[in-house]
Amino acid sequence: MPKNLVIVESPAKAKTIKKFLGKNYEVMASNGHVRDLPKSTLGVDIENDFEPKYITIRGKGEVLAALRKAVKKADKVYLATDPDREGEAISWHLYHALKLENKKCSRITFNEITKSAVKDSIKHAREIDMDLVDAQQARRVLDRIVGYQISPILWAKIKRGLSAGRVQSVALRLICDREEEINLFIPQEYWTLTALLDVKGSRKPLEAKFAGNQDGKVEIHSREEMDELLEHLKGKEFQVDGVKVSERLKKNPLPFTTSTLQQDASSKLNFATQKTMRIAQQLYEGVDIKGKGTAGLITYLRTDSTRISEEADASAKEYIREHYGEQYVGKASQAKKNDDKKVQDAHEAIRPTDMSLSPASIKEQLSRDQFRLYQLIWNRFTASRMAPARYENTSVKISAGEYRFTASASKIAFDGFLSVYNINNEKSEGNGMIKSIDEETELKLNDFESKQHFTQPPAHYTEASLVRTLEELGIGRPSTYAPTISTIVARRYVVKEKKNLYVTELGEAVNNMMKKAFPSIVDVNFTAMMEGLLDMVEEGKVRWKSVIENFYPDFEIAVKNAEKELEKVKIEDEVTDVICDQCGRHMVVKYGPYGKFLACPGFPECRNTKPHFEKVGVPCPLCGGEVVLKKTKKGRKYYGCENNPECEFISWQKPSTVKCEKCGSYMIEKGKKLVCSNKECGHVCKMPEETEQKKASAN
């Protein structure tokens, strides 16, 4: 009969660990949390020092009964949940739910699920770390207070079923702010000039880019300036002024943290953050490997540290030495703490648990997605222990009278870590014949190539760039990035199209209300400060209830004010002149998951619905019909003609009635300015006062 009971979160993890421990150990899974705050009520006693009221989670009765039975038979219990705040809290809840006070009970943690790591953890068993538990309790209580007290206001003011949250509301604000920044962006015109120069003995011309004059850099802003420059360059002789050859080192990357793994998996594998975490969890918990049994392939997946153990570092370098050669071995470990931001350095970076298990050797035992993610992690870690790549750069300075041009070329002299992990598919680039050029080389002008460009607006957030921004701002932690993004997408506050995140009409309404009523909740600095306080709770420097006590009074006032003063977003049954083609009633405006739509007031007898197109008071530039506000299938707003599909007019920005005085194209609104829709024109003018007043009154 087993004398020791080991409790973990998941059955997959239990299966893997069971194979490492002998018959004296029984391994069982709790299937995540067994206790939590109740769903039906706030579950936090505001009047009694914010004491949380934990209850057994519905459906966990059988699991707990089986665990209690096993506890009675065991001499010793080991709580082996994940090595982070959440895992520590699960262990603490298990301790109380299973009444382990009078039982020999220890907490064990391991950063990787391997035989040696699991057995070593038993040798270093400890008590439950209450600082970690309290940090989780503080986060849970804060999130519950915010969510349960703001959400009813959102239901009353906008639509039932909405939610707010400390981190999700800030993430939504970031996306909304970026959207506004893009909408207000006014492109600036600029030009580039390339001289195509014939070099004796070379078939291809040398491409030299205009750099400025003898006084420094010169920018070209218009066709007129370009024409003037070309006039000045007429008849000028091109001469080589100098050739410089230099070496550039490209440092190897750091191993993955949760954030950088999510970013890389998004850009290289097109994985959503949630998918990345799900597959990484499978690789961590264990996969059946031929000849080795079940093995955890990677270390713990929730970490913001780039630290690597000495053993792992030595193992990786030995592998590199054997398979690539001594020159490919990195001279020193690059991994270190980031001094610029708070790093919870409890675990190592994400790495393979066994370097000998190369992706190719175990490909047949993995699913396609498991293989691709494991290969990404394995390659990145291997590259982090390798030597930098070395480039040979050649630059040529060329003069044409008082004007200056440059030509350059770069080639990889030593690929180093790029042999394993080529980040941007880098290769040698530039003018191939440049190495044969010296100061005596004769140059002859063949032609000029001038190009018009416009500055580009900031890019829309993707899941990857949003994660990077949240991390840089200190908002959320490795465990929260994926669920935060999943929540705002599931709530239809934002939609994902071709990786980009766009705010919906619903998202705008929620964000505007949050900014008006709860500015501190959606304030980036405030949220980052709260994260810092939670870290201090974890370090034992701050009492967890003190964090709640300091937060709640101001929050309570904001909730009461919001309930009294906020005007309802106008979403009630607004009657329209559109007639229901099934029963003849006037259709009304309703609010759905993607925003407004038309519905028959005769529901449920008549279930007829239609898209709601809001007229914007602008005639279509193509056919003269009405321009209306439309939404894509996913909820993204755009402007189109009411005569679609006969008329194909479409614009992401609101068109104006004003025509461009330069080219005659229609203008689009950008804040208080109008910009020509013709990208080759780029004319900008001030918005007419009448239009500006109408816009202000609408807002």
Q: Three-state DSSP class for 477? A: coil
What DSSP string describes 515-580? HHH-TTTT-HHHHHHHHHHHHHHHTTSS-HHHHHHHHHHHHHHHHHHHHHHPPPPS-S-EEEEEEP
What DSSP string describes 340-369? TS---TTSPPB-BS-TTS-TGGGGGGS-HH
Catalytic option among 95, 300, 552, 594: 300
What DSSP string describes 378-408? HHHHHHHTBPPEEEEEEEEEEEETTEEEEEE
- Residue tagged 């010793």 (tokens): 76
Characterize 406-429 residue by residue with b for buried, 16 or more Cβ atoms within 10 angstroms of its Cβ, and e for exposed: ebbbbebebbbbbbbbeeeeeeee
Q: Give the separation between CA 514 and CA 508, rounded to whole angstroms.
A: 10
Residue closest to 390 by CA, chosen among 290, 595, 250: 250
Partners of 405 in beta bridges: 210, 398
Contacts (Cβ under 8 Å, ≥6 apart) of 694: none
Quick one: tokens of 105? 């009970």
Residue pair 82/33 in contact (Cβ under 8 Å)? The answer is: no
Quick one: tokens of 150? 């703001």
Residue pair 236/431 in contact (Cβ under 8 Å)? The answer is: no
Name the pairing type of β-strands 51-52 and 55-56: unpaired
* Residue 300 designated active-site: yes
Phi then psi for 682, rounded to 5 degrees? 75, 15
Partners of 394 in beta bridges: 245, 409
Name the pairing type of β-strands 666-670 and 655-659: antiparallel
Q: Give the separation between CA 152 and CA 365, rounded to whole angstroms.
A: 49
What DSSP string describes 494-514? EEEETTEEEE-HHHHHHHHHH
Q: Give the separation between CA 11 and CA 25, rounded to whole angstroms.
A: 15
**How far from 299 is each of 170, 250, 257, 360, 453, CA to CA, in Å?**
30, 27, 11, 19, 47
Contacts (Cβ under 8 Å, ≥6 apart) of 512: none
Query: Which residues are catalytically annotated?
Result: 300
